[in-house]
A = this chain, B = another copy of it.
Amino acid sequence: MIDRQDHRPLYVQLADILREQIRTGQLLPGAVLPSELSLQQGHDLGRPAVRQAIEVLEREGLVVKERGRPTRVREEAEREPIVLGPNDEAITRMPSDPERRRLGLPLGEPVLEVRRGDGGVDVYRGSTAVVRSR
């Protein structure tokens, strides 16, 4: 329940509510979130608060937004192993906005950058990569 006496921002409160629904399986992966309008009406909030709450979840990689379509709970992608050789290094970072579009990544998804011992660099989709040694 949103509490206007609470010191926490309204959008944080709403984000917490929705995150909890995702965590408990009340909103399953692939499920559609209530539209912005119904969230506004259902919680008596303005549009900015609702959008900011959903944005928090998007940044966490919990939901995916597409224009014209209802926002959905992100489905867990399968992880593909990335093998790290003895002279390789891996770092994680956020892609730049142009890079993100080029790679076809949703907002809120980091990349895994592997710098090979031979000087090569590979960039992987963060949500699907698992680094293994050897």
Question: What is the interface of chain A, defined by CB distance below 8 A to chain B?
Answer: 12, 15-16, 19, 56, 59-62, 79, 84-86, 88-98, 107-112, 126-127, 129-134
Contact = CB atoms under 8 A, between A and B. Distances in A.
Contacts of A85: 133
Contact of A60 (B56, B95, B130): B95
Given A84-B84, A110-B110, A126-B110, A61 B133 contact: no
> What are the 7 tightest A-B residue pairs by CB atom distance, in nearest-first order?
A110-B110, A92-B92, A90-B131, A84-B133, A92-B126, A61-B94, A133-B133
Contacts of A84: 84, 131-133
Contacts of A109: 94
13 contacts: A59-B94, A59-B108, A60-B94, A62-B96, A85-B133, A88-B132, A90-B131, A91-B131, A92-B110, A92-B129, A93-B110, A131-B131, A133-B134
B91 A79 contact: yes
A106 to B, nearest CB: 11
A65 to B, nearest CB: 13
A40 to B, nearest CB: 18
A59 to B, nearest CB: 6
B19 A89 contact: no
Contacts of A12: 97
